[in-house]
Amino acid sequence: MTESTSIPIGGRAAGCPFAPVAELYDAQKDEELHRVTVPSPMLGAFDAVVVTRYEDVKSVLADDQLRMGGSMPYQAGNLLSYDGPEHTRLRRMLTGSFTAKRARELRPQIEGAVASALDALTEAGPGADLVQVFCTPIPTLVICELLGVPYGDREDFQRRTAVALDFNTSREVQMQKAAEMEAYMAGLVARHREDPGENVLGRVVRDFGDQLTDSELAGIGNMLLIAGHETIASTLSASIALLLQHPDQLAVVRDDPSVTEGAVEELLRYCAPAAILPRQASGNICVRDQEIKEGERVMASVLAANRDPGTSDQGLDRLDVRRPAQRHLTFGFGPHQCLGQQLARMELRVALPALFTKFPTLRSAVPDDELDYRTNALVFGVNSLPVTW
């Protein structure tokens, strides 16, 4: 196994944040796996084995001995803190609310949120920040209604979420914000204990409340709230920024409804909002006949794996919304595969064509090299996206 220098935890190229850093491409070509030093203000710098090839990442994410729990701070009820039977038990309580069928049923609600955001963008006028006016309100409104979280509380939980997902935030601040989020959700859980609403949290309380502690319910609620608004908002902002830089591809998404589903998969593959997925070995394992020892951390690079030329002859460093759907690992793989992936897909399928149809001359109001990308966070996106038309 090859020793290597430090690799930025997001692994994105400085001049082209949609692309992996050169070190990840180099590691992908090397037959030897690389051990790297990962800088992390939250956990402290740590050593890890970085895995970059598609098949290797897929294998790592499916391996029962590579655990998600233990690779990051524990939070009761958060599925990312659990593995094995306990993870399966908690996940089964939620899967019925996040199926493809349920996402289709939610389409009218999503269309309503998109229409409202388009009206707000029209009112704001040229120069508006698309992240604030369009990308963030849509998933926030949808997940608030889905969970039974008051939409009026959005500014507070969005601010706490931004801190929680920032790699540069200290562990002390992270723990403080986690405590604030738990206290907030605990209040909602208490209200649902008394009077379960017709929403996801209410259903979980009605069906499984006697099997869950209040802390577990609060953890479930916060996990779904954070994932349901922040990750989709970030993916939407990154996708729009990318398409604005490729007007030929944008025109296809705008004008050809038949490509919508494939275009969304291409954008998910290319943007890879969760660039890395961490794991920790609970026993000695082998990847490509190379040993990873018990206790070692593993960083699976989704960003690099999604562009692995070994999986395709399609030129995967090039964005092509018409290309045949390519395999990607943006939603992970194995037992921790993203619970809300069908909801995310549906929101992107509705929001992107609607935006470009409503504003056919939409363009960035600032030069591409001045866009403020979020590269030091668990989820990649754009901090601000001023647009005009």
DSSP string, 212-255: S-HHHHHHHHHHHHHIIIIIHHHHHHHHHHHHHT-HHHHHHHHH
297 close to 71: Cβ distance less than 8 angstroms: yes
- CATH value at residue 163: 1.10.630.10
**How many structural domains are present in the chain?**
1
- Tokens 């939610």 belong to which residue? 106
- CA dist 57 and 52 (Å) reads 6
346 close to 358: Cβ distance less than 8 angstroms: no
Range of the domain at 138: 2-388
Q: Give CA angle at 230 (177, 75), nearest 5°.
A: 40
- Give the number of C-alpha atoms closer than 13 A to the C-alpha of residue 238, restricted to the C-beta side: 27
Output DSSP code: residue 377.
Answer: B
- CA dist 375 and 46 (Å) reads 19
Q: Using CA atoms of 83, 85, 89, 94 in order, give the dihedral in degrees to the nearest 10.
A: 40
The CA distances from residue 169 to 142, 145, 160, 224, 376, in Å, are 28, 30, 12, 21, 10
Q: Give CA angle at 79 (76, 80), nearest 5°.
A: 95
User: What does the pLDDT profile of the chain (389 residues) look like in tens digits?
Assistant: 666 566 665 688 888 899 998 888 888 998 999 888 876 656 667 889 999 999 999 999 999 999 987 656 678 888 988 999 999 999 999 999 999 999 999 999 999 999 999 999 999 999 999 999 999 999 999 998 888 888 787 777 676 666 565 556 666 766 776 778 888 888 889 998 998 888 999 999 999 999 999 999 999 998 898 888 889 999 999 999 999 999 999 999 999 999 999 999 999 999 999 888 889 999 999 998 899 999 999 999 999 999 998 866 678 999 999 998 889 999 999 999 999 999 999 999 999 999 999 999 999 999 999 999 988 777 899 999 999 99
